[in-house]
Amino acid sequence: MPEYPEMEHYRRLLAERIAGQPITKVLVTRPKSINVPVETFEQELVGRTVWFVERRGKMILFHLDNGKRLLLHLMLGGLIRYESHTLLTPEGLPHERPDRTVQVTIGFPAGDLCFIGLRLGYIHLLTVKETNAQLADLGPEPFDGRLTLEAFKARFKSKRGSLKNSLVDQHVIAGIGNCYADEIAFEAEIRPDVRISAIDPEAWERIYNAMHAVLKDAVAHGGYMELPLTNDDTLTGGYNERCRVYDRGGEPCLRCDGTIVQTELNSRKLFYCPSCQKEG
């Protein structure tokens, strides 16, 4: 599932291409992916201009010129693909489309098409009030200036589970998922399965700093998921080669002489080095 770095990278690329552009066509092939009747969805969008593109946690928000929002959550197995100057068939369908299933296609001038695959995700048309209500329970962004070290520690005070389970809890911090929780724990030299109650006070600063360092580096290298937005997008997936523990089970640790362990925690994959990551 795309996390903060992937969605922030997509947001930047999409903003460059569609901010200020009118929507020229809409094609929905699975009504369950949207929250209103297909006809309403199409009528509400065609002719509207995308003012700007925002990201909140793992979601992308398209702000429209009539004040409404498109809220996109790719969830597991979702994709975004943007094709420029796409040729259409006589039926108005694109000649070129991603290999994977596409549920919603949004067109822009010059034949540009944004393909959205939504295996488990959704794209909802919402008012400002509805958008705010849907996002109300999300935790703060990792780089929110108000999320000081003390505020960060306070987010975990009531948690009783493991560090990883708390890091991926979107009510605690928005945008972190399986991959980056493990990478943050590795950077902080602490095991991701350590209980919150067992974490030393000194370790919280390491975790806080590790969150910023890992996510900043991941955004700069396009995240770990290899699903480029466009044909000339060479950055997406660049962080995959920089992952130090995630999906590296059985490989040597890049920091010590240990071996990366792969196990499970509450049905989630878990990666860590037992030699240099502490249990508290």
CA distance 244 to 225: 15
Q: Which residues pair with 269 in a beta bridge?
A: 264
Is residue 3 part of the annotated active site? The answer reads: yes
CA distance 143 to 136: 18
* Other Cβ atoms closer than 10 A to 153: 15
Which residue, among 166, 253, 189, has the nearest Cα to 261 in the 3D structure?
A: 253
User: Tokens 């930047």 label which residue?
Assistant: 12
pTM for the model? 0.91
Give the model's pLDDT for residue 119.
85
Is residue 90 part of the annotated active site? The answer reads: no
Is residue 268 part of the annotated active site? The answer reads: yes
CATH fold, domain 149-272, is: Helicase, Ruva Protein; domain 3 (1.10.8)
Is residue 159 part of the annotated active site? The answer reads: no
CA distance 274 to 279: 9
Pick the catalytic residue: 153, 159, 268, 269? Answer: 268
216: left (phi over 0), alpha (psi -120 to 50) or beta: alpha
For 128, the token pair is 């400002």
Decide: helix, strand or coil at residue 132.
Answer: helix
Pick the catalytic residue: 55, 56, 58, 248? Answer: 58
* Other Cβ atoms closer than 10 A to 270: 22
Give the model's pLDDT for residue 99.
52
152: left (phi over 0), alpha (psi -120 to 50) or beta: alpha
For 140, the token pair is 């703060």
CB neighbour class for 192 (10 Å; exposed up to 12, middle 13-18, buried from 19): buried
For 60, the token pair is 């992308």
Pick the catalytic residue: 2, 94, 142, 228? Answer: 2
153 CB-side CA count, 13 A: 12
* Other Cβ atoms closer than 10 A to 157: 7
Give the model's pLDDT for residue 91.
52
- The CATH number of 4-135 is which of 1.10.10.10, 3.50.50.60, 3.20.190.10, 3.30.950.10? 3.20.190.10
pLDDT, tens digit only, all 280 positions of the chain: 899 999 999 999 999 999 999 999 999 999 999 999 999 999 999 999 999 999 999 999 999 999 999 999 999 889 999 988 765 555 555 545 555 689 999 999 988 999 999 988 999 999 999 999 999 999 999 999 999 999 999 999 989 899 999 999 999 999 999 999 999 999 999 999 999 999 999 999 999 999 999 999 999 999 998 889 988 899 999 999 999 999 999 999 999 989 999 999 888 899 999 999 998 7
What are the extents of the domains in the chain? Answer: 4-135, 149-272
Give the model's pLDDT for residue 93.
52
Q: How far is CA 65 from CA 26, 73, 136, in A?
A: 17, 21, 23
